[in-house]
């Protein structure tokens, strides 16, 4: 197994890009029945965007871009945080990942992290029925299918393990339903189901009834509260957010 590396605020890789194959999420207590990644991406248009808050103050952004090509579905994630004190930036965090989904399943992913000047990279490539995973000088193998930690795909809710795209480890998780809540989006309040992750990864995530990711919340290693608030998560036409 590839060794665990815990970065500054990245106590898990969920916000960086957790995600999987999904179909619409059922009402309260339900979980998605399965679907193609390209069908899930079509729920959002060509992108998703969240504003990231730490202890109630805005500190960054999280964007997911979708490109459907003859090769497959390309999913690019950009997550960035800048923490300031007295007007000066005292901490910077950058996460980027590029994934390829073929025939509805993850085929390959590369993720890079700049944790305030500390750089790391992981790669995972499907080879037959397994994934070859590299993280720095270490390598590992995991059975396919495997879902990365990038939340846009609600079918991850059916899984008991995920690929942590920060560390290269396969994390064991338990996902439970909390209940129904209204969540603010660019189109106003929407009804959503609230889930919690426990085990190797701890987080809270919300999906609307169509299976769209609409909110995320987790704690940093220093105990601070991180909250993803939807800026664009309810679907759009391609190119309509070119100036967003």
| pLDDT string in tens for the chain (244-residue length) | 333 333 344 433 333 433 332 222 333 234 443 457 778 878 999 999 999 999 999 999 999 999 999 999 999 999 999 999 999 999 999 999 999 999 888 999 999 999 999 999 999 999 999 999 999 889 999 999 999 988 999 888 999 999 999 889 999 999 999 999 999 999 999 999 999 999 998 999 999 999 999 999 999 888 999 999 999 999 864 444 434 4
CATH placement of domain 14-232: 2.50.20
- E strands, the chain, in order: 47-54, 57-69, 72-85, 88-102, 105-115, 118-127, 130-135, 138-143, 161-163, 170-185, 188-199, 203-208, 213-219, 225-232
Q: Is 161 helix (H, G, I), strand (E, B) or coil?
A: strand
Cut 0.85: pTM above it = no
């Amino acid at each position: 197994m590839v060794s665990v590396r815990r970065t500054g605020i990245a106590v898990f890789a969920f916000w960086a890009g957790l995600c999987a194959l999904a179909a619409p999420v059922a009402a309260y207590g339900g979980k998605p029945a399965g679907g193609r990644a390209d069908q899930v991406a079509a729920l959002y248009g060509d992108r998703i965007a969240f504003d990231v808050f730490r202890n109630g103050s805005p500190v960054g952004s999280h964007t997911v871009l979708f490109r459907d090509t003859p090769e497959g579905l390309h999913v690019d994630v950009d997550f960035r945080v800048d923490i300031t004190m007295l007007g000066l930036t005292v901490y910077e965090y950058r996460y980027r990942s590029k994934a390829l989904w073929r025939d509805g399943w993850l085929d390959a992913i590369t993720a890079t992290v700049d944790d305030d000047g500390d750089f790391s990279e992981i790669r995972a490539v499907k080879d037959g029925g397994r994934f070859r995973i590299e993280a720095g000088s270490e390598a590992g193998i995991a059975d396919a299918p495997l879902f990365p930690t990038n939340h846009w795909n609600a079918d991850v809710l059916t899984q008991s393990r995920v690929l942590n795209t920060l560390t290269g480890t396969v994390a064991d998780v338990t996902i439970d339903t909390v209940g129904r809540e209204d969540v603010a989006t660019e189109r106003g309040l929407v009804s959503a189901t609230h889930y919690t992750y426990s085990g190797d990864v701890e987080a809270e995530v919300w999906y609307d009834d169509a299976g769209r990711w609409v909110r995320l919340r987790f704690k940093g290693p220093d105990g601070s509260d991180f909250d993803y608030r939807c800026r664009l998560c309810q679907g759009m036409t391609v190119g309509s957010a070119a100036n967003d």
